[in-house]
Structure 1
Amino acid sequence: MSNFDINTISDFQVAERFMRYVQIDTTSDPNATSFPSTEKQKDLSRLLVAELQQIGLADAHLDEYGYVYATIPSNSDKQVPVICFCSHVDTSPDCSGAGVKPIVHVNYQGQDLVLPDDPSVVIRLEEHPDLRNQIGHDIITASGTTLLGADDKAGVAEIMDAARLLIAHPDIKHGEIKILFTPDEEVGRGVNHVDLAKLGADFAYTLDGEKAGTIEDETFSADGVRIVINGISVHPGFAKGKMQSALKVAAEIISELPKDRLSPETTSGKEGFVHPNHIQGGVDRAEIDFIIRDHKTTNLARHEAELRQLVEDVVARFPGVTYDFAVSEQYRNMKEVLDQHPKVMDIGLEAIRRVGLTPERRSIRGGTDGSRLSFMGLPCPNVFAGGHAFHGKMEWVSRQDMEKAVLTILHIATLWEEQA
């Protein structure tokens, strides 16, 4: 066990790193066929490689797919499992990530935060109750016209600063540590081309969570459904009794979805949903894309069967119209894997305690790279990064919470060494 007191560290650079990183536009594109979906994600990745090499990680490199890999060598004489820390460089296409101007609101005292480039964008205490825990903290926001990028450049900055501190403080005992930065997490492709053999880790932690002190070991299980409606196209001047508009059939399907259940607007906690998130087409052909979500994997088939029955009932009212119904697996609830490796969560929870926070085990109404990594053979819960109000102009993060996340990374590293 190291005699060095990690909690005495005060020479953090995480906020400064974060504010540099968010100014690099790394928005991913769900409609692109390339990987990564946008080349500009590599602009940040190349910078991260250079900075990792500067702090002494000689093997840091960027591969052809936009992944950053690096190794912090072990300084222990024990056989310690190899641990990976992972975050994603891309930001959500839901809101502009170009021209981000980070602003630090020093010594926050509970006031509403008016963002100067668009004063109509106000982060109000009553609408963001977690701000009540931030009195005296330095709150970082964007300027009102873009998202901030705390999802997940906060996680990136935290891992980078933890790597620097591990090299700067050799008294912190740890096994071999791997660093992985991924592209395209926001568009669901974050680990499509990751090389786990090259990574060589036994267990991992994503730094992609929200509130300080939280750690997540459960996600949705997720499928996608694409419904293709084949209509009957006739010149509208001669269409009576002949035309069957695929677009109108698609509209009927969406209109008949349940109004009081099974939608994101009407569910919370462990409740699943059936959500149409894209529609396109015309008279001859229309497509509707759905995302199907539930924490219980077996419920997905039930939701899909209900949706298929609804489609059949609607299509039956339009003679001659046909449809195709295709289900694709997206990711599965990582708890199914993590429950088989309880030590991963036990160490995460203890690390949070050691930084002086009360750990809170949470489930995510969504997914992370850790969902798919877990099922690829790398058990991977999700640790807080400190950001809030993701994917929009009101996104914010506390400098002090990011520093707590850095310390949590260091404690996770030392706990694996202690218990080896």
Structure 2
Amino acid sequence: MQHIIDRFISYVTIDSQSDPESETTPSTKKQWDIARKLAKDLESIGMEEVSLDNKGYIMATLASNCEEAIPVIGFISHYDTSPDFSGKDVKPRVIPEYDGKDIVLHEKDSILLSPSYFEELSQYKGQTLIVTDGTTLLGADDKAGITEIITAMEFLIRNPEIKHGKIRVGFTPDEEIGRGAHHFDVEKFGADWAYTVDGSQIGELEYENFNAASAHITASGKSVHPGYAKGKMVNAISLINRLIAQLPEKEVPEHTEGREGFFHIHKLSGSIEQAELEMIIRDHDLESFEKRKALLKELVASLNLENEACFSIEVKDQYFNMKEKITPVFHIVEIAKEAMESVGVTPIIKPIRGGTDGSQLSYMGLPCPNIFAGGHNFHGKYEYLPVQSMMKAVDVIVKICEITRNKKLQPHERN
């Protein structure tokens, strides 16, 4: 247990936050610090073909120890952390045999990690937890996944009696700002399929995610002295408010769950002359997704007829539901499910209410479901990671490699 704890802590204490405002890849220079360390760690455990390219993408190989033809499988995680909360000077704390009570993260500011608020915390009573000091995020998203993949590869190298095919490992920058797969060389990676190890609680197995688009809407107005504005002023802020009022009231993140889609306004700014709105559109169902985009354009067109073309709109697709690409090769999900069950983990199969590198990779020709990494409360000071969940994730990765070999699948079956 201590070995995996030490490895995880060595990664989370390196600041590797990404930056959505940057145009470089990686988006921050500090991501190179952990990238170089990861490449060295892969070499030190005996991985082959370790590469770190000029965009910060790391790949490595564990050669097959079997003579028969076996599909090449991959495991992928990202090493950047979210820009939503500080990732500088992370000071993780290990709590052995958690007693099920409140955990004081920061005594001075009375910051508590409490099962009365985070109910799932109670299921880890008696286990070893890694928590924050209440001033930063932890970084289990997704340094837990990286730790688990490296530990699993190390285990396979040290136990050659476990037979497996060729295994590829990939670590990416900038996943937290939606760019993790942008420069991923699928052909170089050369896997028939892969798994992102980037889920949350133990047992998560996901092969569905949102279809996603962004919308940028601008309203143009006319500023006139308010005392003499009748019939002359056009207030861009009021126009934007009229648009918002016509959106479905309950189809927003705070009122939806499961496979329910939504419109989400995340930025609003402006003046009388010009106001701007930025939103995201999400839906698991492709037909409903297209209807949402159409509705937004129809509302803008209708308001333009009333207000002499005061609106402009730009809608951009961001990613699509990977279910469309994974369903034809569903055996890769069944392998992960079987692996979990064989090591005593109950699979929790559910749609992702968000995106994943696996979505983009699936549409780039690499089918890529997502499996748990074990952490909770990502992107904030209440983030925590049960060590036993990490260890089970290692077991699942190893078992996936074993099952893939034993299934006698042919490499071409991915298509």
> Do these two structures clear the TM 0.5 threshold for a shared fold by scoring above it?
yes
Q: Which amino acid aligns with 1:285?
A: Q
| Structure 1 position 174, deviation (Å) | 0.9
Count of residues in Structure 1 that have an aligned counterpart in Structure 2:
408
CA distance in structure 1 between the aligned counterparts of 2:107 and 2:9, rounded to whole angstroms: 17
Q: Which amino acid aligns with 1:146?
A: T
Which segments of 5 or more consecutive residues in structure 1 lack a partner in the other structure?
A: 1-10
CA distance in structure 2 between the aligned counterparts of 1:132 and 1:367, rounded to whole angstroms: 28
Task: Judge conservation of contact 1:227–1:323 (CA < 8 Å) in 2.
Answer: yes
Q: How does 1:233-272 map to 2 (within 5 A)?
A: 233=223, 241-259=231-249, 261-272=250-261
2:386 matched residue in structure 1: 398
| Structure 1 position 238, deviation (Å) | 7.6
Q: Which amino acid aligns with 1:346?
A: E
- Select the residue among 177, 181, 188 that pairs with 2:178: 188
- Select the residue among 314, 328, 350 that pairs with 1:362: 350
User: Which deviations, in whole Å up to 9, do the C-alpha atoms of 1:274-302 show, x marking residues without a partner?
Assistant: 11112334443332221111110111121
2:10 matched residue in structure 1: 20
1:388 maps to 2:372: no
| Structure 1 position 33, deviation (Å) | 1.9
Q: Which amino acid aligns with 1:106?
A: P
CA distance in structure 1 between the aligned counterparts of 2:287 and 2:191, rounded to whole angstroms: 30
CA distance in structure 2 between the aligned counterparts of 1:165 and 1:12, rounded to whole angstroms: 15
Task: Judge conservation of contact 1:118–1:143 (CA < 8 Å) in 2.
Answer: no
Q: How does 1:196-345 map to 2 (within 5 A)?
A: 196-233=186-223, 241-259=231-249, 261-315=250-304, 319-320=307-308, 322-345=310-333
Q: Which amino acid aligns with 2:350?
A: R
CA distance in structure 2 between the aligned counterparts of 1:14 and 1:244, rounded to whole angstroms: 62
CA distance in structure 1 between the aligned counterparts of 2:38 and 2:65, rounded to whole angstroms: 23
| Structure 1 position 368, deviation (Å) | 0.7
For the residue of structure 1 that corresponds to 2:293, the secondary structure is helix
User: Which deviations, in whole Å up to 9, do the C-alpha atoms of 1:53-104 show, x marking residues without a partner?
Assistant: 1112242121111111111111111111111100011111111111111011
1:85 matched residue in structure 2: 75
Task: Mark the CA change 1:365 to 1:12 in structure 2 (over 3 Å): closer, same or farther.
Answer: same
2:338 matched residue in structure 1: 350
CA distance in structure 2 between the aligned counterparts of 1:165 and 1:209, rounded to whole angstroms: 22
| CA-atom RMSD in angstroms | 1.9
2:411 matched residue in structure 1: none
1:373 matched residue in structure 2: 361
CA distance in structure 2 between the aligned counterparts of 1:111 and 1:159, rounded to whole angstroms: 31
Q: Which amino acid aligns with 1:310?
A: L
CA distance in structure 1 between the aligned counterparts of 2:25 and 2:31, rounded to whole angstroms: 10
Q: Which amino acid aligns with 1:278?
A: K
TM norm structure 2: 0.93
Counting aligned pairs with the same residue, the percent is 46
For the residue of structure 2 that corresponds to 1:311, the secondary structure is helix
- Select the residue among 394, 399, 404 that pairs with 1:411: 399
2:41 matched residue in structure 1: 51
User: Which deviations, in whole Å up to 9, do the C-alpha atoms of 1:111-141 show, x marking residues without a partner?
Assistant: 1111026543211112222222212111111
TM norm structure 1: 0.92
Which segments of 5 or more consecutive residues in structure 2 lack a partner in the other structure?
A: 409-415
2:106 matched residue in structure 1: 116
Task: Judge conservation of contact 1:12–1:403 (CA < 8 Å) in 2.
Answer: no
Task: Mark the CA change 1:249 to 1:45 in structure 2 (over 3 Å): closer, same or farther.
Answer: same
Task: Judge conservation of contact 1:232–1:321 (CA < 8 Å) in 2.
Answer: no
CA distance in structure 1 between the aligned counterparts of 2:315 and 2:308, rounded to whole angstroms: 23
CA distance in structure 1 between the aligned counterparts of 2:226 and 2:19, rounded to whole angstroms: 36
Q: Which amino acid aligns with 1:404?
A: K
- Select the residue among 20, 41, 66 that pairs with 1:30: 20
For the residue of structure 1 that corresponds to 2:215, the secondary structure is strand
